[in-house]
Structure 1
Amino acid sequence: MEFFWATPPVTRTLVATSVIMSALAHFGTIDIMKTIFIPEYIFTYRMVPQVWRLATSFLLTGPSFGILMDPYFLYTYSLALEKSGSKFRTSSDYSVFIVFVWAIIMPLAGLWLGWPFLMSSFLMALAYTYAQEDPNRQVNYFIVTLSAKYIIYAQLIVTCIATGGYYHAFVQATGIPAAHLYLFLTKYWPEYGGGTHWIFTPNFLRQYLDAPAGTGVNRGAGTAFPARNAGGAQAGRGGGWTSAFSAGGGTWNQRGPGRRLGD
């Protein structure tokens, strides 16, 4: 239990849900047809929409050997991204990434290609993002050691061999454009293209998933401290340093005129 609660919140929720639900589904305790992506049961006006499929279809593992390997890769990639990934400052930012890639994979793999099991695409999105952190890092993939940038190709090759065709690899590959689009909209376009950063993290996710302001969170590059809520430090962003002391109130609560270096 200590190990479980020490795992970041998003990763432990994904892995625990995937393991429990997949075990129940593959051993016949629950109907597997109630968990997969079937558009007619989700986007419908003739019955109550079964909206849980929007999440369960991404967390249902493959049968037999997949019950072990899919959660393993989910834990490995997700933990590395949530805990040490440079692209996600907090768990709430990482949760937005997951919702975004699900929203892109769904129309590609689920609607366009008509495949109801979407976990392989989700794992590919995680692997692609994981590889972007350090493309030349050496990682183990089964019994082979290779650079992180080749993980996605190794996964596609294994899928082709295991399924005997290219269709499942094509479905799996839909995770690549989903993950790349997120990186483009949050990094490349705002930083290098001068565009607007359209993807943001809602405050309710920050309050629910992130540590309180001022609490250190261990990450790969050191200890991160979550920002304060609006009205605190973030409220003054872009307006200069607070530099005038109020004698009556006894607090620093105004902005000074600013001084040019050397004046």
Structure 2
Amino acid sequence: MPPQTPPRPRNELIEWYQSIPPITKAVFTLSIATTVAPALGLVSPYHLILNWTAISKLQLWRLITSFFLNKLDLGFAMNLYFSYRQSVQLENEVFAGRTADYLYFLLLTSIMQLAAARYLDLLVLSDGLIMTLTYLWSQHYRDVPMSFMFGIRFKARYLPWVLVGYNYLTPGGNVVGSLVGIAAAHIYYYLTTTYPSQGGRRYLSTPAFLQRLFPPTTARGGFTAGGAFQMWPGNQQQQQQQQQAQRTNVFGGHSWGRGQRLGS
């Protein structure tokens, strides 16, 4: 009887990383790499921020790295964790089977933020990226109960504004980038969900080349009143989310911390 090869030991960290859906995995990985590299002295953060003069000289990577650059601290770790959680829910539930549509959402809102940054002199757009995820998540999970510091309770639809208010009241907080992210996500949500559901035309459609790169897969869902396919979490999922939200608060379950200025 030939000797049996012992089973290879499991690496739960690798298995978890491999289980992350593709777009969330890319956002998660870029956030870590772009933040850790400057902290280790591998690259200067000033080579990663938005600098339109440098971009005109074909330093095009700045158009991407400016969305993922953060200060390496506890606030970044918490932001990363909760943005990961929200992105996983969006990709696996709201955009289930429609990876191209989720990528289009991120690309479109990023272009809007870059256009605004050109005129608002924003150098880093990581706060805006987080808020686009938060705003879209809050619209699709509007009635999930949440609580803020001192036990103030509210529904998830108000989460983006609670976080903006907290950042505004925090010394050194900068809310401009967050507001730009909210505005970009609101425009996307209105044109793809709100306006079509009211009988209006759907003006935003995912380009064909993205559909070819990420073909849609089978997923349970339905069509909105405007004719757009929409995947909503089931009642059991919503109950689980509500129970989890009731056990946490914004700082325990959705603690974003305050924004950091570059170099602070």
TM-score (norm 1): 0.71
Choose the corresponding residue for 2:186, options 177, 180, 184: 180
Is 1:51 aligned to 2:60, yes or no?
yes
Runs (5+) with no aligned partner, structure 1:
223-263
Q: Which residue is 1:147 aligned to?
A: 155
Correspondence for 2:143 among 136, 140, 162: 136
CA contact (8 A) 1:141 1:151 kept: no
| Matching residue of 1:159 | 167
1:31 aligns to 2:31 (yes or no) = no
Written as runs of structure 1 = structure 2, the 5 A alignment for 1:1-263 is 1-42=14-55, 44=56, 47=57, 49-85=58-94, 90-108=98-116, 110-139=117-146, 146-164=154-172, 168-195=174-201, 197-210=202-215, 221=233
CA contact under 8 A between 2:24 and 2:84: conserved in structure 1?
yes
Task: Check the 8 A contact 2:97/2:219 in 1, yes or no.
Answer: no
Q: Which has the larger radius of gyration?
A: 1
**CA deviation string 1:11-69 (max 9, x = no partner):** 01110111122111123211111111112222x2xx3x111111111111233223312
Residue 141 of structure 1, CA deviation: 6.5
CA RMSD of aligned residues (A): 2.6
Per-residue deviation at 1:78?
1.1
Q: Aligned partners of 1:6 and 1:220: how far apart in 2? A: 21
The one-character-per-residue Cα deviations of 1:71-115 (angstroms, maximum 9, x if unpaired) are 1132022111111116x651110000001111111122x222212
Q: Give ranges in structure 2 of 5+ residues lacking alignment.
A: 1-13, 222-230, 235-264
Higher relative contact order (CA 8 A, sep 6+): 2
| Paired residue type of 1:83 | N
Q: 1:76 to 1:33 in 2, by over 3 A?
A: same
**Between 169-178 and 62-71, the greater mean CA deviation after superposition:** 62-71
What percentage of residue pairs aligned between the two structures are identical?
26
Aligned-pair distance for 1:162?
A: 3.5
TM-score for the superposition, normalised by structure 2: 0.70
CA apart distance, 1:143: 8.9
Q: SS where residue 175 of structure 2 aligns?
A: helix
Provide the residue aligned with 2:258 in structure 1: none
In structure 1, how many angstroms separate the alpha carbons of the residues matched to 2:21 and 2:147? 23
Per the TM alignment, residue 187 of structure 1 is displaced from its structure 2 partner at its CA by 2.1
Supply the distance in 2 between the matched residues of 1:89 and 1:186 (Cα, whole angstroms). Answer: 17
- Whole-angstrom distance in 2 between the partners of 1:72 and 1:143: 23
Q: Distance in 1 between matches of 2:150 and 2:36?
A: 26
Q: Tell whether the 8 Å contact from 1:61 to 1:71 is kept in structure 2 after alignment.
A: no
The 2-side partners of 1:163 and 1:152 are apart by 19
**1:149-190 superposed Cα distances (whole Å, 9 cap, x missing partner):** 22112211332244445xx11331111110111112212333
Change (3 A) 1:102 1:192: same
Looking at structure 1, the residues matched to 180 and 196 of structure 2 have their Cα atoms a distance apart, in angstroms, of 24
Task: Tell me how many residue pairs correspond in the alignment.
Answer: 211
Higher strand residue share: 1
Structure 2 CA distance for aligned equivalents of residues 74 and 99 of structure 1? 17
Shift in alpha-carbon separation, 1:184–1:40, aligned structure 2, 3 A: same
